[in-house]
């Protein structure tokens, strides 16, 4: 017999949604800072020297975080679908069992 704990499933969905939001927020921070003209590595000579080596990895990290946000959101959506499908199937099985009892087919 298969059983799905809907409470735990909803908790997992909430955690994946929160992680997706967090990754999306992190992905958006560096571009917002760059748009304001504030280099995240600092404007002093040492920071400016690091800027060239920082920019590409930072952009790649932001792109990866953005993709991760989408992936985590997709996982949450699929978990919602799993819970819904299980609940629908369970309801159908209960209905079939009731019909069999009414018909005398224990």
| pLDDT (0 to 100) of residue 33 | 62
Residue 39 belongs to some domain of the structure = yes
Q: What is the pTM of this model?
A: 0.72
Q: How many domains does the chain have?
A: 1
For 31-73, the pLDDT digits (tens) are: 666 666 666 677 788 877 777 777 788 788 889 999 999 999 9
Residue 69 belongs to some domain of the structure = yes
Question: Alpha-carbon distance 37 to 72, whole Å?
Answer: 31
pLDDT surpasses 60 at 106: no
Residue 83 belongs to some domain of the structure = yes
Question: Alpha-carbon distance 18 to 26, whole Å?
Answer: 12
Alpha helix (H) ranges present in the chain?
6-35, 45-102
Report the pLDDT averaged over residues 86-106.
Answer: 86
14 vs 56, higher pLDDT: 14
Residue 17's domain comprises 6-102
Residue 1 belongs to some domain of the structure = no
């Amino acid at each position: 017999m298969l059983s799905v704990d809907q409470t735990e499933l909803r908790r997992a969905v909430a955690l994946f949604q929160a992680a997706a939001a967090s990754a999306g927020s992190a992905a958006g921070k560096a571009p917002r800072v760059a748009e304001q003209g504030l280099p995240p590595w600092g404007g002093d000579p040492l920071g400016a020297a690091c800027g060239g080596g920082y920019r590409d990895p930072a952009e790649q990290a932001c792109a990866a975080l953005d993709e991760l946000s989408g992936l985590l959101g997709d996982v949450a959506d699929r978990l919602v679908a799993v819970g819904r499908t299980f609940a629908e199937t369970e309801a159908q099985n209960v209905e079939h069992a009731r019909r069999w009892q009414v018909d005398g087919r224990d």
